[in-house]
Structure 1
Amino acid sequence: MALTLHLPTLTLVVCLVLVTAAALMTFIGMTQRVYRGFWWWVTAQWLTALSPVCLLLQSELPWLLPLSVLLALQWPLMMLAGLRQFHGRVRFPLPGWMDALIPALGTVAYAWIWSQDPDDVAARVAVFSLFNVGGYLYAMWQLQAIPGWRRSRHLKTVHLFLLGGALLQAPRLLTAMSNWGLPLSNPDHIQQPAVLLGLVVAVTVSVYMCLLLTYERTEQELLDSHRQLREMADIDMLTQVPNRRHFNEMAALALRLACPGGSTLMRFDVDHLRHFNELHGHAAGDEALKLVASRARDLMRERDIVGRIGGDQFVALLPDTALRDALHVARRLTRQVDETRAQRGHPPVSLSFGVVRVEPDETLDLALTRAERALERARRHERHPAGHEAAQRA
């Protein structure tokens, strides 16, 4: 037995469902943190909910029929307007004002056909379906301008959803065009109440997708915040190298993985930084620290670890590196700092080094202590104006 749907009753049910969806979106927007574009989506939901209301009242007020068309056609374009705001930095192929052309032209065409022959249902449905399909495809095309939309499962779902909306209208469009200008014994054959059910599903899914896009943005911001906090906890903000705690963590792990007794630890300081700051200013002192850290990072291998453990104090662990090779790195660092300083016209900077071999089964703290003593002896010897090197073996 075929299932018969009473169109006015179905329209009333659709109206109630749409109002409920719009009210839910409004409640979420008023009680939760939302982003730019969310209220465009809410507006689209409310305007869509008004469309079946106009259909219910059009027998009393005929002019509500073309208004219901406008309210139905606006939905994909208003959703697109929300996406434009949500992704405010994206440069879309066409400006936002052109989004309004499709529902405006569709409404004008529908109203004109309706005024010429109110009984030509097929022609009106064909025009409505044509512009509705155009709106879905237009929104889908614009959405593809969002960078990385293929990597976002939510944006891909919106894309497929818009494509599904266009495909849902396609059979209705073909049927209406084939009956253009012909009298119909059963207008429901063209109007297809099942399309109203599809509208309910579409709006329900769209509410869900709007929320998912909002939560996806919130989740990404939380991940970015956690990453930034982690960087602030691990990285020295001035020099962009690991701080003392993070250096100790990475160096301890590197020593466990390296060949016992084959690693070298290098302590190096900027000489007389306090006097340098008094003479040239703290900004110049900060630039000197950043220059030393930058040149040290450039010289180090990927497996080497360099960190800042104090105001003017740096340390580097060179796994599987002989003592003479580490001393060569120290000389190169001194030379590169001096060359870069001269190129930039910065005040002269001198460095002192203490280099030791990490003995088998020696703790990192003990090796750092020996490197500190080696650094103090280098300072006392004053062997080179641009950088003093000393090596001590236990």
Structure 2
Amino acid sequence: MDLSARAVLILAAAVVTTAATVMLYVRASRRVYPGFGFWTLAMLAYLAGLAVFALKDVWSLARPLASQLLVAAPFLIALGFRRFYQQQLRLSLRWDVSLLALSLLTLLLLPVLTTTAGQQVGVFSLLYAAAHLYLLALLMWLRDGRRNATLRAYALVLLGVAALFTYRAFVSFFLEPGHEIFFEDASALLRMAWNAVAVVLTLCLFLVLTFERTEQELVRTQQQLRQLAQFDSLTGAASRSHFLALAWQAVQTSARQAAATLVMFDLDHFKRINDNHGHASGDQALQQLAMTVQANLRAGDVFGRLGGDEFALLLPATTPAAATSVCQRIAERLKAVPQTDNATTLTLSMGAVTVTPPETIERALARADAALYRAKREGRDRLIIDDAAASAGLYASD
């Protein structure tokens, strides 16, 4: 092995050692995903293959063992992609295992199947190229393989490795019979250099995919937290803070057309339902109320849970008379919902006010709350409108 070949081999070994060290560090110190372990093994296989190959002049088994380690690496990467994406590919896991076993068996029988070192190099080169082409095919079958820019770039790297080693096999079989020194010519140096580059890019791919997955999970977690913060998990209604924000936007928008009506309501005798039938029945009653309201919402209406059994409904560009019709429809349909555990029929006490800027939603809620408690004092199961019309029952105006 001449000086330039030795230098390239040392450089490649240093690059692969660094890559393997980074993979081990990330695996030990960071959260990783299914498949990362196989990718780490692939890096170690690359490293072990180069280290063993460096002993070829002093150990007769170095070349076949190094060849097996290097050919195994792409298949380990493929196994990692299967675990990482957890998708059903066109080719099953049995293909990975079978092709890897066939490749390793072929390399093991090289002394029997070939007569010259050049032929052995040619067979190894073909198997190495085929392993990378197989990995390339698996990536392109992945749904993300055609959409992810990082995977598309890695596909070009795999194609380059396959092309170089296919060329090497052609040279070994047809142009250089009897050639015995793997690192003699410039093309061999190019292959080693490209392999080193491929290892670096492979490491970058693994890290990028890991960080992308982490970012996706962070975004998903943020969305879930936002969902939890903005909507009540039991009823699906907007939380108090989210309702206030949405309602204010709706009031400002509807002010260009007509005033909005804000309705505040709760279940009559809700505490009695909890005490007599249990909190599970109370939760069910709240869910039935929420589903009834949501089934009667119009586009632009805002529905929220203020706390406990208190809810609010903002009806943009809606007159008190139109709001009365909406409330009556909700109350009647809620009464018609069949109850279990001998629970009483669900009825509502409601208080409604007209809202126009610059009055805030908080101030309007305070007025609606006063109207709601007036409805309770007057016998429940009714709507009180706090405006010039004074009040109205659910079935007839006073």
Which TM bucket (shorter chain)?
0.7 to 0.9
In the alignment, is residue 96 of structure 1 matched against residue 126 of structure 2? Answer: no
Q: Report the count of equivalent residues.
A: 385
- Which aligned pairs between 1:271-286 and structure 2 lie closer than 5 A? 271-286=268-283
Higher mean C-alpha displacement, 61-70 vs 352-361: 352-361
1:214/1:289 CA distance change after superposition, 3 Å: same
- For 1:377 and 1:139, how far apart are their aligned partners in 2? 73
In the alignment, is residue 171 of structure 1 matched against residue 167 of structure 2? Answer: yes
Q: Secondary structure at the match of 2:47?
A: helix
In the alignment, is residue 352 of structure 1 matched against residue 346 of structure 2? Answer: no
Partner of 2:300: 303
Deviation, 1:155, is: 3.8
Higher mean C-alpha displacement, 213-222 vs 262-271: 213-222
- Which aligned pairs between 1:65-144 and structure 2 lie closer than 5 A? 65-87=63-85, 89-121=86-118, 123-144=119-140
**Structure 2 counterpart of 1:19, from 17, 20, 26:** 17
**Structure 2 counterpart of 1:7, from 5, 8, 32:** 5
Deviation, 1:118, is: 4.6
Partner of 1:235: 231
Higher mean C-alpha displacement, 92-101 vs 366-375: 92-101
Partner of 2:241: 245
Deviation, 1:133, is: 2.7
1:255/1:76 CA distance change after superposition, 3 Å: same
Higher mean C-alpha displacement, 325-334 vs 203-212: 325-334
Higher mean C-alpha displacement, 110-119 vs 316-325: 110-119
Higher mean C-alpha displacement, 215-224 vs 338-347: 338-347
- Which aligned pairs between 1:197-276 and structure 2 lie closer than 5 A? 197-259=193-255, 261-276=258-273
Deviation, 1:343, is: 9.8
Partner of 1:288: 285
Gaps of 5+ in 2: 389-398
Deviation, 1:148, is: 4.2
8 Å Cα contact 1:254-1:319 kept in structure 2: yes
Deviation, 1:200, is: 0.3
Higher mean C-alpha displacement, 198-207 vs 340-349: 340-349
- For 1:16 and 1:360, how far apart are their aligned partners in 2? 70
Identity %: 31
Deviation, 1:228, is: 2.4
Partner of 2:52: 54
8 Å Cα contact 2:350-2:384 kept in structure 1: yes
- For 1:351 and 1:16, how far apart are their aligned partners in 2? 76
Deviation, 1:119, is: 2.2
Q: Secondary structure at the match of 1:6?
A: helix
Q: TM-score, normalised by structure 2?
A: 0.86
- For 1:127 and 1:12, how far apart are their aligned partners in 2? 24
- For 1:164 and 1:336, how far apart are their aligned partners in 2? 69
1:157/1:298 CA distance change after superposition, 3 Å: farther
Deviation, 1:311, is: 0.5
